[in-house]
Amino acid sequence: MSPKIIFVTGGVLSSLGKGISAASLGALLEARGYKVRLRKFEPYLNVDPGTMSPFQHGEVYVTEDGGETDLDLGHYERFTSLNTRRCDAVSTGQIYSKVIAKERHGDYLGATIQVIPHITNEIKEHITHNIEDDIDFLICEIGGTVGDIEGLPFLEAIRQYANDVGRGNVLFMHLTLVPFIKTAQELKTKPSQHSVKELQSMGIQPDILLCRTEVPLPLDARQKLALFCNIKPECVIEASDVDSIYRVPLAYFKEGLDTQVCKHFGLDTKTAPDLSLWEEAVQRATTPKGEVSVAVVGKYTGLQDAYKSIAESFQHAGIANELKVNVTWLNAEDLTDDKTTADILKGFQGILVPGGHGERGTDGKMRAIRYARENNVPFFGICLGMQLAVIEFARHILGLREAHSTEFEETAHPVVGLMKSWNQDGKEVRRSRKGDLGGTMRLGGYECVLTEDSLAHRVYGTDHIVERHRHRYEMDSRYRDRFEAAGLQITGTSPDGALPEIIEIKDHPWFLAMQFHPEFKSKPMAPHPAFVAFVKAAHSL
């Protein structure tokens, strides 16, 4: 049985929240007992965001099967039970690459290759590519806004697709802005009217209009939008600002979004969805019993979307601990010396150093790590944060002043280097494969074995875990004995014992660092245990 298809588009301006809206609808449909899959179509020409600066496009989200994708896939996973896959993120770069490869192979039998039909046909093939047979709803988010030149092939493709499969099997949902003009004290519907008109000019008539607004949407505004946009009044849905993004599914349910979707497809609307877990999560998130203050010392702190999953993981940990987690995002380059570092970090109950690439900011991050180590402040290191913790320890405890990562410079003591493994004789046995920058990383879910009677084991409560990786460099195992003799323990490794995955400091109240990215597997109803334990330690120590 083919799934019902929902296409989510956006208008007026970007960053209105198409991803959260799509994910919230997925959550509501799951609460009704349906099985959903969500998919993102991005108009940019990059094959994936893996080589893009976080300042350009925010965080690179990593799927379990090793896909480097848009951060909206993180929303999809956090709001639903879904495990996204690399095939759930499709870019213009991927589409054109495949069409050109087919042309070079002769698959088009000498035809002139054009946007219509060749590009649009390839897009249509990707809509339902590799979709499980038992999926009830497929929600496809189209990136960008209506009117963007790079998005035109995608809009044309979904228009064609609706005709191909039958209009009754497809729903078009359009997210737009209804601004409130404070000086006039009124809402303006004209931007939304123009956005819908633009969509209609491309042959797409939206079935549901989601209206982002700062204030409640009155009846007369809904009726006006319904009249001028050719939409049923009950399908004009208010999408007002809320105090927590995890309240969005509840707000959409109150507005009847899932009911209108089910009505469109002729499905049962009498049975209400079970939203008790969402209600409990929101209750705990908005009525905390205490507060905790943590610092994140990074290099992309000017754009919070660069650390989106970390920010959300702190919210999840706050829900679990019934605490408000006050996160301060600090630029590592501001930590210029030990005194400045102490002045900036004084008063924080916990310090986290996240992942990243490049040398900029690494000195400041290491100063933050040293401050946490020497002052017994709970410390959490992720990816590069673990590597820098290794370097800092080597320099100041082992006395290896030249210790560094070969990512940044050649050194006599490369305690961190390009991915490789060594046997007991010190002979290299494995190295990461060479190639273009889009293909040299350890990506996706890998198993890790934990040491019994360790902080890591107590945090996870199990011997084996699977976590998602995104890195080219790793701790050099040849230094393992020297580190452990000095008090830095490797308490998580790859199953063969070759790759260090987790480190901790034996005599520190709470010092844990991981080569992988735990933030990619945290959800509001299933918070990641490492974030939960870190927040608890920061609050109690």
Catalytic residues: 383, 517, 519
Q: Strand locations in 13-63, DSSP E? A: 36-42, 61-62
* CB within 8 Å of 396: residues ≥ 6 apart: 370
Residue with tokens 């996706």, as numbered in its chain? 444
Instruction: Say how far apart CA 163 and CA 239 lie, in whole Å.
Output: 29
Q: How many CA atoms lie less than 13 Å away from 84 in the CB half-sphere?
A: 34
**Distance (Å, whole) CA 456 – CA 462:** 9
Q: How far apart are CA 339 and CA 150, in angstroms?
A: 50
Strands 350-353 and 290-298: parallel
Residue from 159, 136, 157, 167 nearest 38 by CA:
136
Structure tokens given for 50: 């893996």
Q: Give the pairing type, strands 290-298 and 323-331.
A: parallel
Give the pairing type, strands 403-405 and 413-418.
Answer: parallel
| Residue 366 main-chain phi, psi, to 5 deg | -70, -35
Task: Sort residue 106 into left (φ over 0), alpha (ψ -120 to 50) or beta.
Answer: left
Q: Is 360 helix (H, G, I), strand (E, B) or coil?
A: coil
The residues pairing with 500 across neighbouring beta strands, listed in sequence order, are: 493
Do the beta carbons of residue 392 and residue 403 sit within 8 Å?
no
Q: Are 524 and 78 in contact (CB under 8 A)?
A: yes
Rounded distance between C-alpha atoms, residue 537 and residue 380, angstroms: 11
